Amino acid sequence: MSMYGLPEPVHVRTELERYQINHDVASEMRELEELNRLIPNNDQQQQIFYIVSQHVLQDTRVFIFVDGKGGTGLSFILLLFK
């Protein structure tokens, strides 16, 4: 900013900070548990959920593309590692 003669922002929020301000993580976790109880994932959906969550938990730098028609239960996943 200073290179262009503009003032520096007082506080720059990260994406995580913005998310935490706008979302109640505890209520979203309860909602996920209720949805899993009422409408459990099929085997393929659960496998994709597991793959994505493992990369999130391990902080792996990866581009994940998931494609599938809503309601069909059919999808595929493409992982591109950096």
* 30 vs 44 pLDDT, higher one: 30
- Give 36's contacts (C-beta < 8 A, 6+ positions apart): none
- Give 61's contacts (C-beta < 8 A, 6+ positions apart): 81, 82
pTM of the model as a whole: 0.52
**Number of domains composing the chain:** 1
The band of 82, judged by pLDDT with boundaries at 50, 70 and 90, is low
First to last CA, the chain: 29
Domain interval for residue 9: 2-81
The band of 22, judged by pLDDT with boundaries at 50, 70 and 90, is confident
